[in-house]
Structure 1
Amino acid sequence: MNTARIKLTGKNPKQLDDICSEIKDMAQKLGVGVSGPIPLPTKKLRIPVMKTPCGDGMHRGGGGGNWETWEMRVHKRVLDVGANDRVLRQITRIRIPTEVNIEIELTD
């Protein structure tokens, strides 16, 4: 039987979990097997930035306190759903926020 691997990525883990539970409930109502959601490791993107634009403080007293670190976390979830026409049609009708990216890959 064909399966559809659904990959969800986003910055807000609660939104991802809500969409995953909605997909899982829909597939179970239609009688299709579902495995997941499987949480994948969170990617942490860090950018160190100087607080002052002129560069002052680098030569005074070590200059250790003039850096700020910005961080963005990207969360991922994976669902495997039986590839049924009705299920895939219903999944495409789900309202997905713009902050969440979804990829659907069909496999044998």
Structure 2
Amino acid sequence: MTQPARVKLTSISLSRLSNVCTEIMNIGEKAGIKIKGPIPLPVKRLNVVTRKSPCGSGTETYEKWEMKMHRRIIDISADDKAMRQLMRLKIPDNVYIELSLT
């Protein structure tokens, strides 16, 4: 029995995120199931701006840090066997995965 599922992937490392996406796509091709994606979502940018001088005197110079969060969605119409393979998939520490059955 096939059941539609949506896999949401989030990471700050684009290369690791694309590696996980290709592994999921390979599982889908081997199982012969329908896959839509990976669909790229807009990149979230988190900015932190701080002043360099701790005492507050002197010229106003600032440091800027930015963290980008890359997101992808993959829609799968998978059976039990393919879902088990997805659950066994080894995912790096900085890639977050959310699996929802619809």
TM-score, normalised with respect to structure 1: 0.89
Q: Say whether the 8 Å CA contact 2:13–2:70 is kept in structure 1.
A: yes
Structure 2 partner of 1:105: 100
Give me the identity figure in percent: 43
Distance 2:78 2:89 in 1: 16
Structure 2 partner of 1:91: 86
**Paired residue total:** 101
State the Cα distance separating 1:2 from its structure 2 match: 2.4
Q: Say whether the 8 Å CA contact 2:34–2:78 is kept in structure 1.
A: no
Is 1:3 aligned with 2:4? yes
Task: Specify the structure having the higher radius of gyration (Cα).
Answer: 1
Unpaired runs of at least 5, structure 2: none
Is 1:79 aligned with 2:74? yes
Which 4+ stretches in 1 moved above 6 angstroms?
Answer: none
Unpaired runs of at least 5, structure 1: none
Within-5 A mapping of 1:34-53: 34-53=35-54
Which structure is higher in strand share? 2
TM-score, normalised with respect to structure 2: 0.94
